[in-house]
Amino acid sequence: MSQPDLTPFAGCADFQSALQLLVQHLRSNAEQAGEALRDFLDALQEQPEINEHVASLFHQWLQHSRLATGFVQTGIYSRQDFGRELRRRLYDRINPPPRQPDVLEDVLQTVLRPSDLDWLNSIAPRLWLRLYEQLGSAQQREASQHYVRDQLLRAAEMLALWVAGEDLNPDLIRLNPRLLEVDSAFLSLQREVQSLVEAERAGRELPDTAQLDVMLDQSREQVAYLRRLGNQSGASLSTAHLLERLGQSLDRLEGILTMLTSERSERSARAWLVQLGQIINSGLEQRSIREFVRNSAGMLSKSISSSKSEHGEHYITTTGQEYWHMLRSAAGAGVLIALMALLKIEIGRWQLAPLWSTLLISLNYGIGFVIVHMLGFTIATKQPAMTAASIAESVQQGQNSRNLPKHLAELLISVHRSQSVAVLGNVCLAMFVAAGVAWLYQRHAGQALLTADEVAYQLKALKPVPALWYAAIAALWLFCAGIISGYYDNRADYVRLRERLAAHPALRWLGPARQQRFANYLHEHFGALHGNFYFGVLLGVTPYIGHLLHLPLDIRHIAFSSANLSYAASSAELGATVFALGLLYVLLIGMVNLWLSFFLALRVALRARDTEIPSLGKLLQALFKQLRASPLALLWPPAAPADAPRKQPPDSGH
């Protein structure tokens, strides 16, 4: 590699221009960036006039830059809440703010691109140290180091004050009221940092940093504890954003303190490089709205996933008692589904305007699903989104266990068995009740329930193309309903809905006992009631959206499709072949409903817990092994050991 031409550096009027030239040189040799920097240093050493000019620009910028602001702000979320911060980033993306050459963050964002991180990280630290040592005289470096040290003290002081100030944040006090009663680690950390800053400014010997390290560790433990409380008792995006900012502030404060207290210059220089690298990385990522939302929403996603996991356990049957309870629960839902399908057909006969028809159909679905839930019945397709969260929790808990594939295989078999019996209950009772309603109508009215055109429409609606595409849309709404349920369960915990309703003055007429029962019920079922209603609304509005956009949008749901098939078969002579094909199409619709929503929910649940299934091959091997040993386990629960404790049947109302 030939030595670079340094002539353009001689014409640079400020440090940012010189840095831009250096970055362009390294970027053009990205695959050999380390060697390119070494050649640049060699060339700079051979041309002392240019070396002196670049050094002068560098130290002049360094001694007049606002480094404290850069260390406190770059890569650390602002003290605004999540919504304001998101709006600010969106506005800055559309209309970028003016760059200031004395602000570290602005210089980095002007000169560097996110794609530069790879070659920047590939350069050995010793080359950056050599670059610093080669720029300027010992006197220049000493003056810069004195200024930088003062800026670091200011940054440490501000960060410690920020961390201590969050001790009275209402969101954190809601999670842990004891913050008001005890001297927290945040306050103790601030006092230790203040002592160090005062000693440095007074020229005294720095105090022992052992206690400072202890307070940093305790502050981290407190943030981790608050995160766990948020996962258990409900979190908001603002709380997640706040805890993420606290963690970032503690990380930055630790790095600054390492630079300030390192006795050896090599360790201090290395700490400098580490912190500068982190600032560059986080400063470039700070432009990313996607990363900001993903990081801030992490705890909220985990809290929602945890809520779904708790309810998901109720959808998995492992004993004969639970199996029969699930069948009865699903059968009850099948009765109501047949009536909901009939009402939907009747609404279609009224020839209303599309908007009014959509409103009534959405209410039919939404209110119907809520009634199904309130009666404690189970809709088969509501299972996957819930059970996926349970599987993700099992993966996280047993991530390092050798028995994880076996345990997951058992869980998947139980999930399949539970879904199968729920489908059986939904479909059989929906078809049986639909046939009974059609027979009663024909007996009393003297004519078939459906006209010939309506029968043809119902049969056409079952054909795989485009019915399976419509089934996939329904699966997407099933997945969304699970997210909605988890969100509102988390919301109920976050706002302490139970306590609010139990003390609500407008409900006192119920009496203390009934008011408490009402508060308990609404708190425990808050997510399920919302999820069921919104699921119905999503099913109802999809065809209308397709109508407005002139797109092929509709939904197919296994339970309603089975009821519609039964209404059609009871209103006309279909023949065994046509009926069998229709039933096959219904089952295909059900497979798409169930498994697509399951895999979508599983993917999100695994990402929320920051985990993944370690080995798909081992999982499949364990699954086939168990199926060979007990193939009937797919459809029937294995016999429990004689000494196994009896479990309560699942509360299928979730």
| CA–CA distance, 414 with 19 (Å, rounded to integer) | 61
Q: Burial of 376 by CB count in 10 Å (0-12 exposed, 13-18 middle, 19+ buried)?
A: middle
- For residues 581 and 153, give the distance between their C-alpha atoms in angstroms, rounded to a whole number: 77
Q: What pTM value is reported for the model?
A: 0.75
The arithmetic mean of pLDDT across residues 319-335, rounded, is: 91
- Do 346 and 260 lie in one domain? The reply is no
Domain assignment present for 145? yes
Q: Give the 3-state DSSP-derived string for 509-556, with helices as H, strands as E and coil as C.
A: HHCHHHHHHHHHHHHHHHHHHHHHHHHHHHHHHHHHHHHHHCCCCCCC
Alpha-carbon distances of 292 from 84, 552, 568, rounded to whole Å: 12, 35, 52
Of 473, 406, 417, the C-alpha closest to 622 is 406
For residues 262 and 192, state if they share a domain: yes
Give the whole-angstrom CA distance, residue 335 versus residue 433: 6
450 and 599 together in one domain: yes
In the prediction, which pLDDT does 296 show? 62
pLDDT of 443 higher than 90: yes
Most confident range (mean pLDDT) of 13-22, 127-136, 286-295, 631-640 is 13-22
Please give the average per-residue pLDDT across 48-63, as a whole number.
Answer: 92
Is residue 183 predicted with pLDDT exceeding 80?
A: no
Look at residue 106 in the predicted model and tell me its pLDDT.
83
Tell me if 128 is assigned to some domain: no
Is residue 515, in this structure, part of any structural domain at all?
no
What separation in angstroms does the CA of 284 have from each of 92, 111, 117, 150, 281? Answer: 14, 10, 9, 26, 5
Q: How many domains, in total, are found in the chain?
A: 2
pLDDT digits (tens, 9 = 90+) for 193-249: 999 999 988 888 777 788 899 999 999 999 999 888 887 776 677 787 788 889 989
Q: What is the pLDDT of residue 386?
A: 62
The separation between the first and the last C-alpha atoms of the chain, rounded to the nearest angstrom, is 68
Q: Give the other-Cβ count within 10 Å of 58's Cβ.
A: 19
Asked if residue 367 is part of any domain, the answer here is yes
Lowest mean pLDDT across 321-325, 424-428, 578-582: 321-325
pLDDT category of residue 429 using cuts at 50, 70 and 90: very high
* Amino acid 300: pLDDT: 58
Mean pLDDT of the region 638-652: 52
Confidence of residue 49 (pLDDT cuts 50, 70, 90): very high
User: Is 18:10 a contact under the CB 8 Å cutoff?
Assistant: no
For residues 446-475, average pLDDT: 95
Is residue 241 a contact partner of residue 214, using CB atoms and an 8 Å limit?
no
Q: How many CB atoms lie within 10 A of CB 421?
A: 26
Q: What is the pLDDT of residue 653?
A: 45
Cα distances from 631 to residues 363, 425, 512, 636, in angstroms, run 42, 21, 52, 9
Name the percent of the chain lying above pLDDT 70.
89
Instruction: Pick the more confident residue, 547 or 137.
Output: 547
Helix axis angle, 48-62 relative to 33-46, nearest 10°?
110
* Structural domain boundaries enclosing 95: 75-105+137-296
Q: Is it the case that residue 651 has pLDDT exceeding 90? A: no
Mean per-residue pLDDT of the chain: 86
Q: Which helix (H) or strand (E) holds 248?
A: helix 237-261
Distance CA 343, CA 338 (A): 9
Q: Is residue 369 part of a domain?
A: yes
Averaged pLDDT, 181-199: 88
What is the number of H-type helices and E-type strands within the chain? 28, 0
pLDDT of residue 654: 42
Say if residue 345 is in the same domain as residue 277. no
Q: Say how far residue 617 (Cα) sits from the centre of its chain.
A: 27
Same domain, yes or no, for 551 and 407? yes
pLDDT the model gives residue 605: 76
Q: How confident is the model at residue 304 (pLDDT cuts 50, 70, 90)?
A: low
- Residue 45, pLDDT above cutoff 60: yes
Task: Residue 320: name the closest of 651, 650, 652, 637 by CA.
Answer: 637
Q: Which amino acid is at 334?
A: G
Nearest to 323 by CA among 424, 429, 428, 430: 424
pLDDT of 507-536, one tens digit each? 999 999 999 999 999 999 999 999 999 999
Given a cut of 70, is residue 47 above it in pLDDT? yes
The confidence score (pLDDT) of residue 221 equals: 94
Please write the tens of the pLDDT for every residue from 590-620: 999 988 988 888 887 777 777 777 777 888 8
Asked whether residue 32 is assigned to any structural domain, the reply reads no
Same domain, 579 and 436: yes
Same structural domain for residues 275 and 365?
A: no
Residue 22 structure tokens: 């250096």
pLDDT at position 307, please?
A: 56
Please check whether residues 281 and 354 belong to one and the same domain: no
With both helix axes pointing from N to C terminus, report the angle between 15-28 and 33-46 in degrees, rounded to the nearest 10: 130
Instruction: Note whether 283 and 335 are same-domain residues.
Output: no
Same domain, 282 and 327: no
Residue 314 near residue 408, CB atoms below 8 Å: no
Is residue 46, in this structure, part of any structural domain at all?
A: no
Residue 624 lies in a domain: yes
For residue 309, the model assigns a pLDDT of 47
Residues 349 and 266 in one domain: no
Q: What is the pLDDT of residue 102?
A: 84
> Residues 276, 364: one domain?
no
Q: Final residue of a domain: which of 234, 264, 296?
A: 296
The domain that holds 421 is classified in CATH as 1.20.1080.10
Torsion of CA 11, 17, 19, 21, to 10 degrees: -60
